[in-house]
Chains A and B, each alone.
Chain A
């Protein structure tokens, strides 16, 4: 079945780095755009970053541009989010999500992982 499994979350001090991974299975990963979406404790959803199916184009929210990098390895069916210079306000559950249709990057997030928690605190 179609599945996304995030990993790499944890507790980290402000200013440090963390890399999240999202392992995809049950579909042809290389044909779908992918996104990261986060949710701070008790708050709403916030789109973080998106990447085209072939990795040639990436997009970032203003709040993370220059600090976070989204990437993918289609040979490993894995999506990544490299997070540098972490701040307390980056504390959230980070979800990996997949576009609902092949080839497009439209923000129709039809498949979601269970999320991984990142806590930034001294």
Chain B
């Protein structure tokens, strides 16, 4: 159950777009549609932003979008806003009937 691989940090200016990658294997990200993304502000509980690769829960801005190609999933945030500054985690179902998170990516809005 190795953690999925995410970049430690990404940054962008307000109004720009950024993409966070999440790389796994055919036993997790590449093998299933159950990839989700979470936003976590300091001291707060995580919030579901994307589920099943590309679906947005009710109430989540359409500036957030998800996709997947082979063993890598991606979260794209367009029109960056100051409040988007947070830690972002991907998660995937695995062939061991478990779930695994990525190591997390710190997004800085410059």
Question: Which residues from chain A sit less than 8 Å from chain B, CB to CB?
Answer: 35, 37, 44-47, 50, 59-63, 95, 100, 106-110, 112-115
The answer to whether A100 and B45 touch (CB under 8 A), given A45-B38, A50-B99, A106-B93, is no
Enumerate chain B residues within 8 angstroms of A63, measured Cβ to Cβ.
1
Provide 5 A-B residue pairs closer than 8 Å at the C-beta atoms, listed in order of the A residue: A35-B99, A44-B101, A100-B48, A107-B91, A108-B36
Q: Which residue of B lies closest to A35 (CB)?
A: B99
Within 12-61 of B, Cβ neighbours of A (below 8 Å) are at 34, 36, 38, 40, 45-48, 51-52, 57
Q: Which one of B1, B40, B87, B98 has the highest number of Cβ atoms from chain A below 10 Å of its Cβ?
A: B98
Q: Total interface residues on B, using CB and 8 Å?
A: 26
Secondary structure of the B contact surface, majority rule:
strand
Partner of A107, one of B36, B40, B47: B36
Q: Which residues of B contact A (CB under 8 A)?
A: 1, 3, 34, 36, 38, 40, 45-48, 51-52, 57, 87, 89, 91-93, 97-104
